[in-house]
Amino acid sequence: MQNIESTSGENVTSKPKSVLHILSSLNIGGAERFVIDLAIEQRQSLKLNSVILSFGEEDDVLVAECIKNNIPVYFVKGSRLEKIQTFKRVVSEFDVLHFHSPFTLLFTCYSPILCRRKKVIYTRHGAEPFNQFKWRVMHKITYSIVDQITFVSNEGQTVFNQVNGWQSKPQSVVDNGILIPKESHQQPIEQQKTKIKLGSVARMVPLKNQICLLKAISLMPKSVANKFEIHFFGNGPCEELLKSTAAESAFPDNVYFHGMLVDREEIYKHIDVMVVTSEMEGLSIAILEAMARRIPVLATKVGGNPKLVESNVTGQLFNYNDDKELSRRLTDIAETPQLIEKWGSEAYKLVEQGYSLETVAQKYIKLYS
């Protein structure tokens, strides 16, 4: 945060009255979930006029969540010229512009003078390099417009700077945060008298690599594999591959595809252990949400995952695309189901103490000032 020094030598900061969160869409994703929750916290606790500008459609699934929580949403639609005009009109009304994707930041190039009059924050939610020529050019142009860039993981920061060379730009890592549920739904596994429910909550795209979970189960003896259910939440281009692989397996009746659900409590009541098989992650909202409900996590050793998942404490880490190692980790849980309650309790403590949304909102208000 840059402070303005008064003639008396005191540091003075001006608190903004309004912030515009700019998103590519309001389809379900970790970044979109986080932005909505952050806007709720900013409006309720900080009395900040926190509003969303979406380049998506008015029927995107999370629009209803915004309406339910009284978050105003503007939509950018029409031809490129119409989008530019809408963008200029809306951003002119706000003190702070908070961009949450490279695509949305691109539009500052069409109105650099207007955007320079605002406080501009750019958050990179993942660790994808975006090293194609068009994105590298866009980041060169927008370098002088952005006041502060934030990342949700150290890996994301390193990758971005390697590609774009923004090391001299003010930047920081701001951990994601979540709304902590008041109560947890999970019961001790020995009292459930059911199969152990494994959950995957993610877009079904190659990056998420959910096929690894199905392969890991297929490596087990049938007597062990039958102790598990697999619950997939999400959709995407890999959905048919996952469904066909499950149908051809020795345990088709143990795999459930729930599609895209909005209600988080409905999702997590179906999960005893979260399994994250991604090639890349920032600081996963899905992991945080699971841990806040006393659900331990098995996750790949990538991105921000090791910051949340400590092996034998809050879950287990495994190497990306190593279905054999994942199979062994799951077998350990099948043989010692008491680990679920033990790790789940530690997971809850970690999130409660360090990843509340209130803490994150306070960090951002300092950057906005």
Q: Are residues 53 and 140 in the same domain?
A: yes
What CA–CA distance (Å, rounded) separates 96 from 228? 48
- For residue 362, being part of any structural domain is answered with no
3 has pLDDT over 70 = no
What percentage of residues in the chain have a pLDDT greater than 70?
93
Average pLDDT over the chain reads 91
Identity of the amino acid at 304: G
In this prediction, residues 138-165 reach a mean pLDDT of 95
Q: What CATH number corresponds to the domain at position 201?
A: 3.40.50.2000
> How many CB atoms neighbour CB 117 within 10 A?
12
Among 291, 44, 341, 344, residue whose Cα is nearest residue 181? 291
Residue 13 pLDDT more than 80? no
8 has a pLDDT exceeding 70: no
Amino acid identity of residue 98, one-letter, is: H
Average pLDDT estimate for 306-322? 97
Token representation of residue 78 = 């029409």
Q: Which of 127, 151, 174 is the last residue of a domain?
A: 174
Last residue of a domain, one of 150, 174, 198: 174
Evaluate whether residue 363 is within a structural domain: no
Total domains present in the chain? 2
Is 116 a domain residue?
A: yes
Q: Would you say residue 369 lies in a domain?
A: no
Model confidence, pTM = 0.85
CB contact at 8 A, 57 and 24: no
- Tell me the mean pLDDT in the region 311-316: 97
Spatial separation of the C-alpha atoms in residues 257 and 245, rounded to whole Å = 12
Which residues span the domain enclosing 274?
189-354
The pLDDT value given to residue 50: 98
- Name the pLDDT band for 2 (thresholds 50, 70, 90): very low
Q: For residues 101 and 229, state if they share a domain.
A: no
What proportion of the chain, given as a percentage, has pLDDT over 90? 84
Q: In the listed set 142, 174, 206, which residue is the last one of a domain according to the structure?
A: 174
Averaged pLDDT, 185-205: 76
